[in-house]
Structure 1
Amino acid sequence: MPIESDHRASDSPYVARVWRGSTSGVDRMTSIATSTWELVFWEQQGVMHAAISGPETTASIAETAGDSESFGITFAHGTSMPHLPIGALVDGGRGSPHVTERTFVLRDEQWQIPDFDDAELLVEKLVRAGVLVRDPLVDEVVWGGAARVGSRAVQRRVAAATGLTQGAIRQIERAREAAVLLRAGLAALDVVHKLGYYDQPHLARSLQRFIGRTATQLRQPDPAADPLSLLYKPENPAAS
């Protein structure tokens, strides 16, 4: 397979998911929209890299170069880095200024690169050092929870922690869930009803914008098409 991937949930409130993947013989892929940010490590041609990858508001084409092994920590909504405002990372990212086979630099400090099974140990160290902070209200209200503060305060806190609005987060996550359901064989009309889209054209526009595929292309994948980036069912899907 040109792309192989694996992922797992996390018991850390700071982490949404931990994933790993490999590519072989892939020149480019479709990177689907995501409402979360990640800390990503990858090895390519014997060289280790590390970067922070911000939320992506639309599907896009990502160029790849040869075989690579990658591993990432996807952070939960509400987790952020005070020294690096998330708004500056939306549809972009920032590489570590110095990476070795075993270490990387973040906030001018050197950290050990974790692996798939012990990613939470790095997260705990970053939290203790104040590199990572968490606003628990944000993750709650993103999925429809009631807030004890005014709506404007909620909007400011969501934007500060995620770089996105509540509406944008829910649209992206709903499109991702729709793509998962369609790939599992559910009919487009059933997806419309299940996830609260107005109609099939509404679903079609959402898929094109956030996934870069039509419903038919998801239900009947073309082996010759560019592969999709990591796609998994959201932990807390919310219709909007």
Structure 2
Amino acid sequence: MLFTSEVRSSDSSFVQAIWRTQSQGTGSFLSPAAIHWDMLLMRYRGKTTFTVQGPETKATRASVPADAEWLGITFQLGTFMPDLLPIRLLDRHDVNLSEATGKSFWLSGSTWELPTYENADTFVYRLMRAGLLVRDPLFDLLMQVDQPNLSARALQYRFRQATGLTHKTVQQIQRAQQAATLLEQGYPILDTASQLGYFDQSHLTNSLRRYIGQTPAQISRAQHME
């Protein structure tokens, strides 16, 4: 096992999850496409790095050092930092926030105490109160079938500002995640493609290869090997 992990929910409606992970050895893993962005605190060999990590539109392979620790705050879709819009962070254009002291960092001209697993909710609340973390009030409506009375161009702009992604890309990634889940549960490949509206098996394969980093057959085989 490459990681040991712990995940908890958050009291904040701005947050998808709060998690922490420790690597057990050197290696690499497939990082799937992600519609959410994170604030990521890494500790390795006495050095602390605090990163704002953007969404990703394709699966990539990431290397992992041994004995590193991470704390992550994954934010809900539609939540963003006006000074660090998700579109600027897309596909590994991550931003490392400058260290102030061993326990603080610089953000928007002020020093902030680094969050912990236990006080991450308080940290997020302080960012919200300072106006450094916001949520587009129209976002929940943008996700619905009955769209608000705005032009298509205005809707696209608001959605991409809040997520860094187009609505179509979000839907494609979410569908690929659903397909991977079904295959992991033992669903046949053709049934998975049909149920989720893929044109055929080839369409499903191309989608999973791009967004998950594996073919349907690879995901199914891994499920049978467990």
Unaligned residue ranges in structure 1 (runs of 5+)? 223-240
1:97 aligns with 2:98: yes
The structural deviation recorded for 1:192 is 1.8
Deviates more, 1:25-34 or 1:113-122: 113-122
The structural deviation recorded for 1:204 is 0.7
With normalisation by structure 2, the TM-score equals 0.89
Note closer, same or farther for the CA distance 1:143–1:54 as it changes in structure 2 (3 Å cut).
Answer: farther
Q: Matches of 2:40 and 2:202 in 1, distance apart?
A: 35
Note closer, same or farther for the CA distance 1:22–1:144 as it changes in structure 2 (3 Å cut).
Answer: farther
Aligned to 2:76: 76
Aligned to 1:123: 124
Structure 2 counterpart of 1:176, one-letter code: Q
Aligned to 2:221: 220
Structure 2 counterpart of 1:22, one-letter code: Q
Structure 1 counterpart of 2:192, one-letter code: V
1:53 aligns with 2:53: yes
8 Å Cα contact 1:38-1:75 kept in structure 2: yes
Note closer, same or farther for the CA distance 1:99–1:175 as it changes in structure 2 (3 Å cut).
Answer: farther
The structural deviation recorded for 1:185 is 2.3
1:15 aligns with 2:15: yes
With normalisation by structure 1, the TM-score equals 0.84
Structure 2 counterpart of 1:181, one-letter code: L
8 Å Cα contact 2:7-2:17 kept in structure 1: yes
The CA RMSD measured in Å over matched residues stands at 2.0
Q: Matches of 1:143 and 1:40 in 2, distance apart?
A: 30
Aligned to 2:199: 198
Q: Matches of 2:8 and 2:141 in 1, distance apart?
A: 21
The structural deviation recorded for 1:103 is 2.3
Aligned to 1:37: 37
What are the residue-to-residue correspondences of 1:79-158 with 2, within 5 Å? 79-91=79-91, 92-98=93-99, 100-142=101-143, 144=145, 146-158=147-159
8 Å Cα contact 1:76-1:139 kept in structure 2: no
What are the Cα deviations for residues 17-68 of structure 1, in whole angstroms up to 9, with x where unaligned? Answer: 2222221213222111101111011111232211000111111111222221
1:164 aligns with 2:168: no
What are the Cα deviations for residues 181-217 of structure 1, in whole angstroms up to 9, with x where unaligned? Answer: 2223222223223322222211111100011111122
Note closer, same or farther for the CA distance 1:26–1:194 as it changes in structure 2 (3 Å cut).
Answer: farther
Note closer, same or farther for the CA distance 1:29–1:151 as it changes in structure 2 (3 Å cut).
Answer: same
Structure 1 counterpart of 2:129, one-letter code: R
Note closer, same or farther for the CA distance 1:104–1:180 as it changes in structure 2 (3 Å cut).
Answer: farther
Q: Matches of 1:113 and 1:164 in 2, distance apart?
A: 28
Note closer, same or farther for the CA distance 1:141–1:215 as it changes in structure 2 (3 Å cut).
Answer: same
**SS of residue in 2 equivalent to 1:29:** strand
8 Å Cα contact 2:2-2:27 kept in structure 1: no
Structure whose alpha-carbon radius of gyration is higher: 2
**Structure 1 consecutive aligned stretches of length 4 or more whose deviation exceeds 6 Å:** none
The structural deviation recorded for 1:131 is 0.6
Structure 2 counterpart of 1:192, one-letter code: A
